Structures are given as C-alpha cells and as structure tokens.
Amino acid sequence: MARILIIDDEPEARAAVARRLRRAGYEVEEAAGEHEGVERIRSNPAPFDLVITDMVMEDPDSGIRTLEAALARDMFSEVIVLTAYGKIVQAVECMRRGAFDYVEKNIPDVDVYELLVLRAGAALDRRLSSLQALRRYQEIGQREGIALVE
C-alpha cells in the first residue's frame, strides 16, 4: 500500500485531506508544519511514496523546503505542493525543483479533493514506473557488470 505524508499547519484542512486519501485506500500520515514534516521525512524508516505539502506555513517558502527534504531523502519520491493563495512564480519554482504538481486549494466549481485523489494516483503511478525502470536498469547493470546505483 502506498504511503503518503500530508504536511499542513491548518488542522481542519490537513484532517480533511487525510480522511479523503484514506478513503481512497492509502496509508496516510500527518505533520503539522514544515518543521515536523521535514523531521518525519528524514526519520521515517522508509521514504514516503508521496508527500503532499502546503506552501505557506512557518514562512512563505516552507513548501519549497519540505519539497527539497523529500527529494533529498529519495529522489523518486513524488511531491504535490498545495497552496491557498497561489502565485505563478511559486508554481514555476516548485515544478523546476522537481514537484509532481502544484495544486491550488481553492478552484471555483472544482472539488479539489477529488482532483487531489486523481493527482495523487498519477503521482504514485509515476513513482511506480520510475522505480520499475530503476529496477530494470539495475538488473541490466548487474547482468553487464555495471553498477548503476549504489
């Protein structure tokens, strides 16, 4: 079962996202801000498959730091950045740094929770295919005697 970490300093928002994703069948953990989120990413025995993080928490760049922490732990972790007051510059910055997606919390006439379930599914598919590709490369490497990944 895929494991997802949700980082948001708004308890109600965090709880709502967690409940929706659990309903979709994922194993979900929660962190109440950048500090706790980064700590979880680093200390968890296995890396999270997907990290969904709010952008503005302790400060306006909290989301960028959780994104970096997740990719530093496992470069094939997927990260979706959520924001309640989106700016294009920020979205571009997140994608450039390797986020899977950048989702605004408030989109008129869109149930962002359903959108999140879809995007989470897509992100986890990408992670899966990345990991499968990696495994194949490793097998080829082993067969040919080349170490691709330590």
Partner 1 sequence: MISEPPPTATPPSRPDGQPADPIELESFYRARRFLGSILDLDELLRALLEEGLEAVRGTRGFVGLLNRPRGELELRITAGRGWDTLPIRTLPIREAPGSGITVQVVRTGEPYLTGDVRRDPHYRMFFPDVRSELAVPLVNRDGWTLGVLNIESEIVDAFSHRDLQLLIALANQAAIAISVARLRVREAALLEFGNQLASTADPDDLLQRATQAAAEILRADECALFQLDEAGGNLILRAGGPDGHDWVGRVTYRVGEGLTGWVAEHGATLRVPNVHEDPRWRGLYPALQEDTVEAFLATPISPQGTLWGVLRAVRRQPRPEDVHALMPQEFTARDVLIAETLARQVAASLTRQSLLEQQIRMERLAAWGELSARAAHMIGNKVFALKGQLNELEHLTRAPHLEARQVLDVVARARRSTGQLEEILNEFRDFMTATRLDRTTTDLNELVRAVATETIPRTDAPAVHLELDPDLPPVQVDPGKLRRALSELLENAVIHQGPRGTLTLRTGRWGAAEAARWPALAGTARRISGRPAADSARLLPADPAAAEPVPPPAVRVEVQDEGPGIPETARSRLFDPFYTTRSRGMGLGLSIVKGIVEAHHGAITEVGVPGEGAHFLILIPGG
Under the rule (CB under 8 A), what is the footprint of partner 1?
Answer: 9-10, 12-13, 15-17, 19-20, 23, 56, 84-85, 105-106, 111-114
Look-up of token digits 């992100």? 123
Of 112 and 128, which CB lies nearer to partner 1 in the complex structure?
A: 112
User: Least CB distance from residue 60 to partner 1, whole Å?
Assistant: 9
Of 26 and 71, which CB lies nearer to partner 1 in the complex structure?
A: 26
User: Least CB distance from residue 2 to partner 1, whole Å?
Assistant: 20
User: Least CB distance from residue 54 to partner 1, whole Å?
Assistant: 8
User: Least CB distance from residue 87 to partner 1, whole Å?
Assistant: 10
Of 55 and 99, which CB lies nearer to partner 1 in the complex structure?
A: 55
Of 16 and 122, which CB lies nearer to partner 1 in the complex structure?
A: 16
